[in-house]
Amino acid sequence: MAGVKKKDRAVVAAILAAALVVGLVLVNRGLNSASQAQAARLAAAQYNGGESPSSAPADPPDGQAQAAPDPEPSPSGEAQDEPAFGTQTGQEESGVEETPAPSAGGGAMTLAQLTDWMVNESSGALAADTLAQAESALAAGVGTADDALRRTFAQSQAPGNGQARRNQLEEEAAALGLEYLRCRDILALREESAAFYEALVQTVSGQLQAAQSAAPAETAPAQSAAPAETAPLEEQTGESLEDAGQSDENQADGEQADEAQAGEEAAGAAQTERLQADLETAQAALASAQLAVEEAQADLQAATDALNTALGNPIGTFLEVTDTLTAQALPALTADRAARQALEGRNEIRQAAYEVERAEQTLNQLRYEYAPDSPEILEQQAVLQQAQGAYSQTVSQVEAGVRDSLTRLELQSRQLEQRAAALEQAGTSAPQTDYALQSGTDGTWSSNLSQLVEQWTQTESGRAALIEEIARFNLDVICFQHAVGAGCVAAEI
């Protein structure tokens, strides 16, 4: 009998609970209907200037236009003009007061100043601070009151996450600043190359003009002397045999002069031809160098635009990074020490360890509710095994990545030293435009144009490669310094 009463009480309790739920639903619907009706009345009142729809004025008679209402006077008694299209008249229209995005402004700055602004004042820095506040709240127990494991992880992981976000901003600033420096130095190199080829063109062109102007002056005496030497031949009639012999000698001399003149003309033509070919070669090289200057200018402009965007500046704001692009010092770390620091500080490893603890906790909770061979227990055991495997894999990846990065940095450092030494030995500046022609025994002409061009091409190529390698090396050094610490990835709490 007691069992029946207990069952009846349960039925009654269920009925009362259902009735309570139905009543709450009905009350909620009534409140919603009332609020919607009130909103509709307010909207209608605003639409009609504060009057109800029933009190709206009647349409004017046919043929008469309704006069526009006078502008509402301001508190000072003057009529207010309507706002222009696209403008906002106040907070009533926008509804939300916008916070201006941070801007660093233009001008000259160092790479250290750029990095400091990105880490502490940029939009990314503000977002990092907000995330840090959220994690601090979780560490204090807000939303984690019933989850001691998550709360403890938030308390221990918050500093590492903050460092990772700062590292990420530092790498972004370094990438932008180093790209600007790389483009700036490449542009200076391309302009130096264009100046070299322009001077070479002027040198060759000057020699060509001199050769062309000297050719008529050399041939003029021979042409004027020809009639005087051949004149006795035209008056041989009636002359003595002695005069005829003298005429033969003069004729022979004239033929020799003609041959000499022809040889000189041929040599001058060959010289002119050589100069003309060299001028065309130098002009083609100059055109290519000028095109390289334009490409370098476009690259520098793109790097400046990227900097202005990251700094919150309008596109076109004057901006420059004033550092000298030189190779940084290699971190004084052995591979073992670097790997040990990374394993102790990287957020990815801490995240993987937390996932293992979370999976173990869930499995222990399920063991109080299910049999050891139940699907719930077996599935959670698989989750735990996957988490353990992911942890081992993360540890291996972090250690291997740090060791490989340090090895490659050491190789890059030696390559930079070798390239700098080779450039120092060969010369880093453009050669003097000592263009010279040389005549061969066979009447052909040669020049040192190809040697000058080849020498500068090698120098320019080596300097460009050194600029590229230094910029990449410096960024890799910064990334390595972060990799042996907290890294650049924040753990999920």
453-474 confidence digits (pLDDT tens): 999 999 999 999 999 999 999 9
Q: Is the pTM of this model over 0.75?
A: no
SS3 at position 425: helix
Q: Please check whether residue 176 is in contact with residue 303, taking contact to mean a CB–CB distance below 8 angstroms.
A: yes
Residue 88 reports pLDDT greater than 60: no
Average pLDDT of every residue of the chain? 80
Question: How many Cβ atoms from other residues are within 10 Å of residue 416's Cβ?
Answer: 16
Question: How many Cβ atoms from other residues are within 10 Å of residue 247's Cβ?
Answer: 19
Tell me the C-alpha distance between 394 and 343, whole Å. Answer: 10
The band of 35, judged by pLDDT with boundaries at 50, 70 and 90, is low
Phi/psi for 437 (5° steps) reads -105, 150
CATH topology of domain 107-211+312-483: Outer membrane efflux proteins (OEP) (1.20.1600)
Residue 91 reports pLDDT greater than 90: no
Residues 364-381 have a mean pLDDT of 95
Tell me the C-alpha distance between 388 and 246, whole Å. Answer: 118
Tell me the C-alpha distance between 421 and 30, whole Å. Answer: 86
Residue 80 reports pLDDT greater than 80: no
Q: Please check whether residue 424 is in contact with residue 477, taking contact to mean a CB–CB distance below 8 angstroms.
A: no
The band of 359, judged by pLDDT with boundaries at 50, 70 and 90, is very high
419-450 confidence digits (pLDDT tens): 999 988 888 887 787 888 888 777 788 899 99
162-177 confidence digits (pLDDT tens): 999 999 999 999 999 9
Tell me the C-alpha distance between 457 and 324, whole Å. Answer: 24
Tell me the C-alpha distance between 189 and 102, whole Å. Answer: 35
